[in-house]
Structure 1
Amino acid sequence: MISSTEEFKYDVIRGLSNTPKTLKAKYFYDAQGSLLFEEITKQAEYYLTRCDESILQDACDDLSKRFGNHVSLIEFGSGSSKKTRHLLRGLSLDIYLPLDISANFLADSANLLGQEFPNLKIEPIPADYTKKIELPNVISAQSTKVVFFSGSTIGNFEPPRALVILQNIAELIRDGGYLLIGVDLQKDLQILEAAYNDRAGITAQFNLGILRRSNQELGTNFQLDQFQHKAFYNDEKHRIEMHLRSLKDQEVSLDEHVFTFAKNETIHTENSYKYSLESFKQLAKQAGLERVSYYTDPKSYFSNQLFTFAPHK
């Protein structure tokens, strides 16, 4: 098995050898990147978290009735679990299993939650949810499994990759469980672009953080002040694209590899797909999931959608 550092190096070499150049968004989330993302969620322009939280708060009673008295809550990409607190308070939980790629951040968050919810059994799982997940053998047979995929993280994946992740989730809940997933909805261009270009520059720091991490962990020599954050909405593909633009002709090296950048050339770091209610329903249907309910904010900026396993007939 290759180490996480070796995998990171492989992905950087492969991504910077592509035309156009790319880096995988999952590498934003070291401890510093995870903290920066928490700051992004507090920015005035970033409507997603506020909408998500208010929807979950309003939906809790309905969800509790649906799920029953014994619930095992499995959260993909838990981060600080801030939004999850509405569910932790509102559902009848047997166990909470937060899952996140940043092991240190996950451990700190789990410790804080343990102090806040001393009677709740918490089983943190440091894992990459883009791969197939093996759950620990801690969920009782009578407990309803609920996978909670919060925020709009599913939108960060190309639709074919999102489909694979949804198929993996479908396997986890095939014995009568549920998927509760956050999906950002299509809306006015200005609102979308402002959310990824906050005036405080936190998203820019977050985007540049992937270069900082590469320098720290792999020994690359990116000059962070010679790359600029760029985010815009691609209307044809219904997605926000995040890039890092080279401000000059320059070279970056990693071991024996040398990568040449022309002025204004970009590294494509992240996509955030925006769905209609119908288009996401159809994507999930391909994964063997049937939507049983959905919840939105009053402006229909954001949605939390509820699915069960429904194999193709």
Structure 2
Amino acid sequence: MTGTEDAFRRDVLEGLARSPKRIPSAWLYDQRGSELFEEITRLPEYYPTRTELAILDGNMEEIAEAIGPEALVVELGSGSSRKTGPLLAALSRPAGYVPVDISEEYLHEAARSLQGAFPELTVQPVVADFTADFGLPDGLPAHRRRAGFFPGSTLGNLDDEAAGALLARCRRLLGADGCLVLGLDLDKPASVLIPAYDDAAGVTAEFNRNLLRRINRELGGDFDPEAFRHEARYADDPPRVEMHLIAERPQTVTVAGERFRFEAGESLHTETSHKYTRDGFAALAAAGGWDCERWWTDADGWFAVVLLV
């Protein structure tokens, strides 16, 4: 069993034994989950991706200038790397690209695609859960600066303690002269937020239930995914959207030889997406050793791309 497989088994068994039940959101992103999330990002209700892309497109020259020449780009949770190509194209003589993602097959597929688009660039993918300690590969190309790239508001999936720890880890990984460009979903009315996490076509529901299918496939589980309904909830202290799988009936499931009871209406909490204010995030960044040097936002103030130094 690999380290990732062992961690998945541990997190699932511990999460199902908890009350309330909860599994870390990182495990939503196997190959199929990653594909479904890419589909979600193109849905009309899902504003974060298109809003962030518009911010990046409108300010990419300025962002690249702020990063500077000969930078080694380290991307956390790279996924399809859809936002990375424009950044690398805008940078002056980028030294290399290190994508980091937990979904190995999806990561290598995206890395191959990006290598094809930038044949002269050194691309060195790292399979890792970036919410835990990991290292950069050996033999990195010479570079002037390490620039972290963390788009997509993924930081919001972590609570403040874990988010602060991740920012501090990035500070150490990128070094004293490093910088970090990341996306932040800002707080806004629930009428906007809830449809983004519970779309009319049911893609997000399928993405959420795919976690149960992954458990069945990889851990010998016997979940009936259709016996759970997808639910998105907004809470405002702190501002966040939560995703849950709600048991439609009483049931007992077996995973890796262990049995777990669900009562009708009981929740399995699968994701939290925190929504930030400027002041709140600035305090979180400072605790991790960073200053917010630049903010770029859309006209509605729904989303921000921030440069940390």
Same fold (TM over 0.5): yes
Identity %: 39
Q: For the Cα contact (< 8 Å) 2:186–2:276, is it kept in 1?
A: yes
* Equivalent residue, structure 2, for 1:187: 188
- 1:61 equivalent in alignment to 2:35: no
Residues 122 and 141 in structure 2, CA contact (< 8 A), matched pair in contact too: no
Cα RMSD (Å): 1.3
Against the structure 1 CA distance between its residues 85 and 244, is the aligned structure 2 distance closer, same or farther, given a 3 Å change threshold?
Answer: same
Structure 2 SS opposite 1:110: helix
- Residues 112 and 260 (structure 1), Cα distance of their counterparts in 2 relative to 1, 3 Å cut: same
Question: Which residue does 1:100 correspond to in 2?
Answer: 101
Cα distance change on mapping 1:71 and 1:255 into 2, 3 Å = closer
2:71 counterpart of 1:71: yes
Letter of the structure 2 residue corresponding to residue 59 of structure 1: N
C-alpha deviation, 1:141, in angstroms: 5.1
The residue that corresponds to 1:202 in the other structure is 203
Paired position in structure 2 for 1:311 = none
Map of 1:122 onto structure 2:
123
CA–CA separation in structure 2 for the residues paired with 1:150 and 1:19: 32
**How far apart are the structure 1 equivalents of 2:175 and 2:37?**
32
Q: Could you tell me whether the CA contact under 8 Å between 1:243 and 1:269 is conserved in 2?
A: yes
Distance in 2 (alpha carbons) for counterparts of 1:272 and 1:152: 8
Q: Which one-letter code corresponds to 1:164 in the other structure?
A: A
| Structure 1 segment 143-292 matched on structure 2, within 5 A | 143-292=144-293
Q: Deviations over 1:248-301 (max 9, x none)?
A: 011101244211111011101110000001100110101111111111111111
Distance 1:271 1:108 in 2: 27
Residue type matched to 1:195 in 2?
Answer: A
Letter in 1 for 2:249: K
Q: Secondary structure at the match of 2:234?
A: strand
Shift of 1:64: 2.1
Give the Cα–Cα distance (whole angstroms) in 2 for the partners of residues 205 and 132 of structure 1: 30
Q: Aligned AA for 1:60?
A: M
Kept in 1, the 8 Å contact 2:96–2:141? The answer is: no
- Residue equivalent to 1:28: 28
Native 8 Å contact 1:133 1:168 kept in 2: no
One-letter amino acid of the structure 2 residue matched with residue 149 of structure 1: F
In structure 2, distance between residues paired with 1:103 and 1:35: 13
Using the alignment, how far apart are the partners of 1:64 and 1:82 within structure 2? 17
Q: Whole-Å Cα distance in 2 between the matches of residues 64 and 235 of structure 1?
A: 35
Q: Which is further off, 97-106 or 58-67? A: 58-67
**Alignment pair present for 1:39 and 2:39:** yes
Partner amino acid for 2:128?
A
Shift of 1:90: 0.7
Residues paired across the two proteins, number: 308
Structure 1: which amino acid aligns with 2:278?
A: L
Cα distance between partner residues in 2 of 1:35 and 1:161: 26
User: C-alpha separation between the residues in 2 aligned to 1:56 and 1:244?
Assistant: 33
Report the 3-state secondary structure (helix = DSSP H, G, I; strand = E; otherwise coil) of the residue aligned with 2:291. Answer: strand
> In the TM superposition, what is the alpha-carbon distance from 1:99 to its structure 2 partner?
0.9
Q: Is the 8 A contact 1:251 1:260 kept in 2?
A: yes
Q: 5+ residue gaps in structure 2?
A: none
